[in-house]
Amino acid sequence: MADAVTADPRIGTELAGYRIEMLLGRGGMSVVYLAEDLALGRKVALKLLAPELSKDRHFRERLRLESRLAASIDHPNVIPIFDAGEVDGQLFIAMRFVEGTDLRRLLDEEGVLAAERAVR
């Protein structure tokens, strides 16, 4: 675990009122961390978008619009967005942290899912 902490300089730092605790995953456009909302004392998934996307004005506007739209959806199958913004050129989205695996890892480990399970 110490190697993971030292390998990622963001672990233990704060951004926009969130303390970054652990790397959850990486994708082509973002990195997702487990973080603590310091004001409310709850765990969140904190998505930090790639720096090159932060420089794109059109992408920034699209992110703001999509964050507002997603935050307006109240449905049990949609992860709620708590916060979205920009700090020192870093775009971020804070959303509910859901413990467990992600679909990519599940498919890698188990292969094609039965239709009933996939729908559920």
Q: Tens digits of per-residue pLDDT, 41-70? A: 999 999 999 988 888 889 889 888 989 999
Look at the block and give the residue holding tokens 């188990």: 110
Residue 80's contacts (CB-CB under 8 Å, 6 or more residues apart) are 71, 74, 95, 96
pTM above 0.85, yes or no: no
Is a pLDDT exceeding 70 seen at residue 3? no
pLDDT digits (tens, 9 = 90+) for 57-116: 898 898 889 899 999 999 988 899 999 999 998 999 999 999 988 788 889 999 999 999
CA separation, residue 109 to residues 82, 104, 116 (Å): 31, 9, 18
